[in-house]
Amino acid sequence: MAAYQTGILQEVPSVARYLTFSLIAGTNPLEPCEDWPSRAMANH
Amino acid sequence: MIGLGRSLLLTLGAEISTLKNFPVHVAAGIEVPSTPTALWCWLRAEDRGDLVHQTHQLCDLLADAFECESVLDAFKHAGGRDLTGYEDGTENPEGEEAINVAFVRGEGAGMDGSSFVAVQTWLHDFSLFNAMTQEQQDNSIGRRKSDNEELDDVPLSAHVKRTAQEDFTPEAFLLRRSMPWSDASGEGLQFVAFDRSFDSFEAQLKRMVGEDDGISDALFRFTRPITGCYFWCPPMKAGQLDLSALGL
């Protein structure tokens, strides 16, 4: 089995926060920081 | 956890065929909206203050290309129950079965280990719910609130009847990770369900709104979804998100 985001299998925590983000028009999400998805993961 | 929306994938010039638009449903007195967005993050903690600091870090990190659209705080209640006192996810698969339900496999590197998540914010109306008798509440859910036991003789509109996972062909199993939420605007349930595709979720949702037999889920008598989004949760590789399926 390939590695997955382990939080999916974990029981729900005591507290949680859901955030949604929209793209800022005219920006390329890859330009500011090519590895933002992994850095975002590392930050929580 | 992180989920990527279809608009983000398209901006990146990529597409995951299973990641489609969240379906809109309209039935008598029922509206199920679709509210697509680019990126979904689920922060988890034992300390609420940690969530505040993580949010600042995340927003700063993404600020050049993303705008934070919504923040919803959720919490565990009564050992894992919804604010109505009933449990969401009683029939959740566990162990190897949960892995089989939630994660893609057999589609190759970059896709295997990924998951698809359906997210809906449900807004409860407690003036309506609290006006119901205990029997009416139990019949709406199909379970006895006191001990969470499924009731034998309940109306076809009962939520457990509408969404009995093994009653679908093929069986419609989901891995649910829902949590109660509350803020100044109201309170309800943040419904979160992971799946290898969206087939199980869509089969259940159609039955809930009565598309199959004209009988809608009794849940709609006291709660309604105010958002509806689909996201693709990429797999991991060497401790980082594996975005190779997007050509990255």
d(CA A11, CA B98): 12
Per-residue model confidence (pLDDT) at position B226: 98
Band (A25; pLDDT cuts 50, 70, 90): confident
Residue A22 at interface with chain B, using a CB cutoff of 8 Å: yes
Q: What is the pLDDT of residues B63-101, one digit of tens each?
A: 999 999 999 999 999 999 999 999 887 889 999 999 999
pLDDT at A33 over 60: no
Chain B CB within 8 Å of residue A13 CB: yes
Average pLDDT, chain B: 96
The residue from B82, B88, B138, B195 that is catalytic is: B88
Q: A-B interface: how many C-beta pairs under 8 angstroms?
A: 204
Query: Cα–Cα distance between B11 and B165 in angstroms, integer?
Result: 35
For residue B237, which residues of chain A lie inside 8 Å, CB to CB? 2-3
Q: In the annotation, is B183 catalytic?
A: no
Nearest 5 degrees, angle CA B191-CA B192-CA B197? 130
Cα diameter, chain B: 56
Using only the alpha carbons of chain B, give its radius of gyration: 19
Confirm if B204 and B88 have CB atoms less than 8 A apart: no
Position B212 pLDDT exceeds 80: yes
Closest by Cα among B248, B125, B5 to A21: B5
Contact predicate B36/B22, CB 8 Å:
yes
- Give this prediction's pTM: 0.94
**What is the least distance, in Å, from the CA of B215 to any CA of chain A?**
32
Q: Check CB contact of A25 with chain B, cutoff 8 Å.
A: no
Between residues B44 and A30, the one the model is more confident about: B44
Under DSSP, is residue B242 helix (H, G, I), strand (E, B) or coil? coil
H runs (alpha helix) in chain B? 6-11, 48-62, 95-102, 126-131, 134-141, 159-162, 199-208
Average pLDDT, integer, range A17-43: 77
Cα distance between residue B189 and residue B120, in whole Å: 8
Quick one: pLDDT at residue A26?
83
CB contact under 8 A, B103 and A4: yes
Among chain B residues, CA nearest to A3: B236
Query: How much is the pLDDT for B78?
Result: 94
The residue among A8, A15, A11, A34 whose CA lies nearest residue B40 is: A8
Q: Which of B97, B177, B229, B242 to mutate to test the interface with A (most CBs of A within 10 A)?
A: B177
Please tell me whether residue B85 adopts helix, strand or coil conformation.
coil
- Burial of residue B152, with CB atoms counted within 10 A of its CB: 0-12 exposed, 13-18 middle, 19 or more buried: exposed
Q: B76 vs A15: CB contact, 8 Å cut-off? A: yes
Phi-psi sector, B79: left (phi>0), alpha (psi -120 to 50), beta: left
